[in-house]
Amino acid sequence: MQKQKGSPSRWRRRDALVALALGTLGCARSWAQEVATLRPGEIIELPGGRISVLGVDIRRGPSTRVSLRLRATADAKTQLVISPNTFRLLAGGVPRALDEQSIENSQPGSSFNVARDSAIDFTRVFSIADKIDDLVLQVRIGDAVERRRLPNR
């Protein structure tokens, strides 16, 4: 066993610097997880398929209305289940559910299946009573969650 060199206060300073460096690395890692901005035509990969964002219409006024034109494409091996819980809009960090009237060709609260190796186009609409600029689309399939910040237009 080797004898430690230096005074105990020097060791405490070194330990404090190591802790500071590790804390800084932890902060850098959280910055790397910043939500990416949604790009026009972006494809969001998820287990069992993908969601393509075909169009985004944001109408701001006294209230905010976000309309998303989407395409769900299932992989060749499995069908993809799209439910009302698949999509949330985080408005200022607060999760918002779909406007029930936006669920086309189905009863509010119902799901639909995308057959294997197939695609379905659909629209999802969110209505928010407030005027807000911080909007993040959240897509959840099973345990997989993807988030994209909507552009400020």
Name the CA radius of gyration of the chain, rounded: 23
- Which domains does the chain possess? 36-149 (2.60.40.1240)
What is the predicted pLDDT for the residue at 11?
54
Closest C-alpha to 85, from 109, 54, 117:
109
pLDDT recorded at residue 28: 39
User: Over the range 16-38, which residues count as b (16 or more CB within 10 Å of their CB) and which as e?
Assistant: eeeeeeeeeeeeeeeeeeeeeeb
**Comparing C-alpha atoms, which of 42, 48, 51 is closest to residue 75?**
48
Beta bridge partners of 114: 80
Per-residue pLDDT reduced to its tens digit, 118-127: 999 999 999 9
What are the pLDDT digits (tens) for 98-111? 986 555 554 555 78
- CA 147, chain centre distance (Å): 1
**Listed residue (140, 148, 144) closest to 84, CA to CA:** 140
Task: Tell me the pLDDT tens digit for each residue of 55-89.
Answer: 999 998 899 999 999 999 999 999 999 998 999 99
Write down the H helix ranges in 4-96: 8-32
